[in-house]
């Protein structure tokens, strides 16, 4: 479902951290318009550096989260997710 960014991807998109959405099934992320190829860079303004950290933040948070992400074209965007 998710993969960590390669050094090449980080360099091309000018990112220090992030986790890429590899595949997405119907669910909370899809319901807010997230798509395959998007790179989640922050959750609640905290940089995401690993798949484990991302899943922990999504699963352990019983409140809503603010997701900062970058599209494959390099556009930054935000989505709110009420968990």
10 contacts 18 by C-beta, under 8 angstroms: yes
What's the token pair of residue 23? 């595949």
Query: Domain spans of the chain?
Result: 2-81
| Triad 3, 13, 6: Cα angle to 5° | 35
Q: What is the per-residue pLDDT across 26-81, written as a single tens digit (0 to 9) for each?
A: 788 899 999 999 999 999 999 999 999 999 988 876 788 999 999 998 899 999 98
**What's the CA gap between 12 and 59, in Å, rounded?**
30
Contact 58, 42 (CB under 8 A): no
pLDDT of 61 reads 66
Architecture of domain 2-81: Roll (2.30)
3-class state of residue 42 by DSSP? strand
Residue 83 has pLDDT above 80, yes or no: no
pLDDT recorded at residue 47: 96
pTM of the model: 0.91
């Amino acid at each position: 479902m998710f993969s960590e960014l390669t050094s090449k991807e980080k360099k091309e998109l000018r990112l220090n951290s992030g986790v890429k959405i590899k595949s997405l099934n119907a669910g909370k992320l899809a319901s807010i318009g997230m798509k395959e190829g998007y790179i989640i860079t922050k959750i609640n303004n905290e940089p995401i550096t690993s798949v484990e950290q991302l899943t922990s933040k999504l699963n352990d948070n019983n409140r809503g989260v603010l997701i900062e992400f970058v599209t494959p074209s390099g556009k930054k965007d935000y989505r709110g997710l009420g968990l």
